[in-house]
Structure 1
Amino acid sequence: MNKINRRRFLNTAILAAGASALPEITFAQETIEKKQISCNQYSWITFYQRDGKDWFANLDSSLADFSASGLKAYEPGLNNKDEAKKLLPLLKKYKLSMPSVYVNSSLHEAAEAEKSIQTVMDIAEAISPAGTKIIVTNPNPVKWGGQENKSDEQLTEQASNLDKLGAALKKYGMTLAYHTHDVELRAAAREFHHMMLSTNPQNVALCLDVHWIYRGSGNSEIALFDIVKLYGKRIAELHLRQSKNGIWQETFSDGDIDYQKLVKMLKEISVKPNLVLEQCLEETSPKTVDGIEAHKRDLAVANEVFKDWLK
């Protein structure tokens, strides 16, 4: 399967030494009216790929499997407004809600950013009838799988465009949530921290992809929980994934990351993000259950871990 290059390096000194000096950051979260656990399409794509199938070959049939797992809320990855328009009737058919969507963007070069922002806005307009509240975006790196980091000038450009996009999405009553993989955590996490510190919290929230933060910081819970301490009030969404000994598991359960501690930390600051399962497979993941059964188990465990949030 196609993979993002995974570097395992983060200089956490900025977290340890600078936390007390950083300004308090708050974010006025949007309320997700129907408290349900969503699931991102990417985890299903990985299960389908393992079985030699294509999730998009027959999306109607794929969403039938999704629904059969007991999931009621879907986070798709959308590339354009046409995909969004084709999806809406299928959501209605399977009685699925869509609290959030995932959209890639390219924001570090001015010319590309203008087109990218327009694409996201077109998607927002197309999905507005679905009641979507959050658009998650992970700005593209210089090159997927490459080792080149963005320049300071490119980071400045990207932060400005991220803020611009977040402000524009308010037109549709939607919140922009910034997402990362491991690339943004290279070089003392300069890209990640600059996006958080150089955007208006009222325009740009955080989609905390728990395991990418953990993996991108060298499998460090310290770095993960320090980021929660720094930016917890801005977390609008969690992407939920678990590993054991660094390897992604088939199901969301106990493992490397202490999700009970994460829940406790977020409770202490009165933050209740949108919850999105994304228990993906990689080459070394176990192979014991199919996608439907795996997601049934994911949902059962997540409902227990986050039970106080779903009342």
Structure 2
Amino acid sequence: MHYNRRHFIETLAASSAVLLTNSAATFAAKASPISSNQYAWITFYNRDKRDWNADLDASLAEYVKSGLTAYEPSFSNVDEVKRLAPLLKKHNLTMPSAYVGSVLHDPTEGKRSIETALAIAEAAQPLGLKILVSNPSPLKWGSSDIKNDSQLIEQAKNLEFLGSELRKRGVTLAYHTHDVELRAGAREFHHMLQNTDPKNVGFCLDAHWVYRGAGNSQVALFDVVKMYGKRVVELHIRQSVGNVWGETFGEGDIDYPRLVRELKALKVKPLLVLEQCLESQSPNTVKAVEAHQRDLAYAKQVFADWL
């Protein structure tokens, strides 16, 4: 992953395909009910002018103080997997999922990204990896530029190929989005999910990026759940209050109890991953450990039926 990936920031499938993608998520959810993404912790550390990666051992020691027992790291190369492996064991952490950045709209870069992602997956699978999350990069982070049709076609083709190759290795690919994919009639978002096979490409629903990308709309978020809910293998959990990311996960702009009800009605049980990140307007009242203790406590209430 590029650590500035937020700029410091379909039809329903055949039942057999749905069962295949959901089985991977259900397995991961049973193994480690609530995880947290590395990026959220990086935003807290950055606010305090600390470097999460400078002493990863010490960082993970703080991580486990929050009560979390599962971890979603971000990898850009195999060496990072090797560095993390002994620390997962030392801190008794599971790693059901990981995030890997990718550039898939360009043929040359796409080939390189696919090779890197597959190498990372093969190195991480012995550590418990079941789901590999990837958000194909935009043309330029922070830019309003959007991909043209030929780039979207190339990206969907590469996403499908990556997913099929990961599936052969026993890993589920989870397509993730930020807000840029929802621009221009959400053409990038829909093209990826309409032109990939649910057997090969699952969906990591980052509820707040869909909400924000659609102009802070719960109507749009829950329409996305209606369209693609059966493909959700992982859920990234973030809340805002007045459309500003909060320090902790709690009540706010997104109706998470409703989201739980709607996913349960679809018989979907994704891996739960906290990603309560900070942005410039976020409150500054608690440190990372306490914030994630509160996140975990509230998440256990909201998702109680899944735990």
Do they fold alike, i.e. is TM over 0.5? yes
Q: Does the C-alpha gap of structure 1 residues 3 and 173 become closer, same or farther in structure 2, counting only changes over 3 Å?
A: closer
Who is 2:176 aligned against?
Answer: 179
- State which of 282, 294, 297 in structure 1 corresponds to 2:294: 297
- Alpha-carbon distance between aligned partners in 1 of 2:127 and 2:161, rounded to the nearest angstrom: 23
1:34-70 deviation per Cα after TM superposition (whole angstroms, max 9, x unaligned): 1420000011001101111010110000000001111
Are 1:128 and 2:130 matched, yes or no?
no
- State which of 267, 271, 274 in structure 1 corresponds to 2:268: 271
- Alpha-carbon distance between aligned partners in 2 of 1:112 and 1:251, rounded to the nearest angstrom: 37
1:204-255 deviation per Cα after TM superposition (whole angstroms, max 9, x unaligned): 0000000000011110000000000000000000000000000100100000
Are 1:189 and 2:179 matched, yes or no?
no
Report matched runs for 1:88-167 at 5 Å.
Answer: 88-167=85-164
**Normalized against structure 1, the TM-score is what?**
0.92
SS of residue in 2 equivalent to 1:265? helix
Conserved in 2, the CA contact under 8 Å of 1:244 and 1:256? yes
- Alpha-carbon distance between aligned partners in 2 of 1:135 and 1:3, rounded to the nearest angstrom: 16
- Alpha-carbon distance between aligned partners in 1 of 2:297 and 2:13, rounded to the nearest angstrom: 33
Who is 1:14 aligned against?
Answer: none
Are 1:24 and 2:12 matched, yes or no?
yes
- Alpha-carbon distance between aligned partners in 2 of 1:273 and 1:305, rounded to the nearest angstrom: 14
1:229-288 deviation per Cα after TM superposition (whole angstroms, max 9, x unaligned): 000000000000000000100100000000000000001010000000000011111111
Conserved in 2, the CA contact under 8 Å of 1:25 and 1:231? no
**Normalized against structure 2, the TM-score is what?**
0.94
Are 1:230 and 2:218 matched, yes or no?
no
Who is 1:17 aligned against?
Answer: none
For these two proteins, the number of residue pairs brought into alignment is 295
- AA aligned to 1:153 is S
Q: Does the C-alpha gap of structure 1 residues 265 and 96 become closer, same or farther in structure 2, counting only changes over 3 Å?
A: same
Conserved in 2, the CA contact under 8 Å of 1:5 and 1:146? no
Report matched runs for 1:49-64 at 5 Å.
Answer: 49-64=46-61
- Alpha-carbon distance between aligned partners in 1 of 2:273 and 2:78, rounded to the nearest angstrom: 22
- AA aligned to 1:248 is W
Conserved in 1, the CA contact under 8 Å of 2:160 and 2:197? yes
Deviation at 1:128, TM superposition (A): 1.2
Who is 1:214 aligned against?
Answer: 211
- Alpha-carbon distance between aligned partners in 1 of 2:129 and 2:202, rounded to the nearest angstrom: 15
Conserved in 1, the CA contact under 8 Å of 2:34 and 2:272? yes
SS of residue in 2 equivalent to 1:207? strand
- State which of 61, 74, 78 in structure 2 corresponds to 1:77: 74
Conserved in 1, the CA contact under 8 Å of 2:35 and 2:72? yes
- Alpha-carbon distance between aligned partners in 2 of 1:173 and 1:240, rounded to the nearest angstrom: 25
- Alpha-carbon distance between aligned partners in 2 of 1:198 and 1:218, rounded to the nearest angstrom: 25
- State which of 258, 261, 264 in structure 2 corresponds to 1:261: 258
Task: Identify unmatched segments of 5+ residues in structure 1.
Answer: 7-21
Conserved in 1, the CA contact under 8 Å of 2:11 and 2:194? no
RMSD of aligned alpha carbons: 1.4
- AA aligned to 1:292 is V
Deviation at 1:2, TM superposition (A): 5.0
1:167-214 deviation per Cα after TM superposition (whole angstroms, max 9, x unaligned): 000232100000000010000000000000000110000000000000
- Alpha-carbon distance between aligned partners in 1 of 2:286 and 2:7, rounded to the nearest angstrom: 27
Q: Does the C-alpha gap of structure 1 residues 79 and 3 become closer, same or farther in structure 2, counting only changes over 3 Å?
A: closer
